[in-house]
Amino acid sequence: MARSAMHHSVNYRSVTLFGVPELIEDKDEKVRQFKIFLDKVSPGRWEQLRPINDNEIKATGLVRIKIEEASVKFRDEPPIDDPDDNNWPVWAGVIPLERSWGSPQTDPIQQEEYLPATPPNAF
């Protein structure tokens, strides 16, 4: 937030990838990629879950992309005011947006006998 309306800006991160997508159609490869993805999000979770079924595999499309080109842009700095505005009597600075995992919230229909001693700490 700057001292002038015309100098307000937002810090950001952006990635654009260029390549040719390829639909993964082989069932075994799709299952392998599902596992890789889920284990990246929540290590060890795949082994705790019921096996996925054929209808779920067919209902979900997966693509792989060989990245041929990429573009990254980001802004991570305080506002840039005109020097004459530096002493204007208003607060200026950055209000960070925090990104973090919250505490697990158990599904309200979770069957009591399946409750873990402590919620999973996968994240």
Which amino acid does the sequence have at 78? P
Read off the pTM.
0.61
Residue 83 in any domain: the answer is no
Say how far apart CA 110 and CA 120 lie, in whole Å: 14
Residues present in the chain in total: 123
Task: Report whether 7 contacts 92 (CB < 8 A).
Answer: no
For 76-116, what is each residue's pLDDT tens digit?
899 999 999 999 999 999 998 888 877 777 778 877 766 55
Residue 107 in any domain: the answer is no
For 39-48, what is each residue's pLDDT tens digit?
888 888 888 8
- What's the domain count of the chain? 1
Enumerate the H helices of the chain as residue ranges: 27-41, 45-48, 54-59
Host domain of residue 45: 20-75
Residue 44 in any domain: the answer is yes
Residue 58 in any domain: the answer is yes
Residue 10 in any domain: the answer is no
Say how far apart CA 123 and CA 117 lie, in whole Å: 17
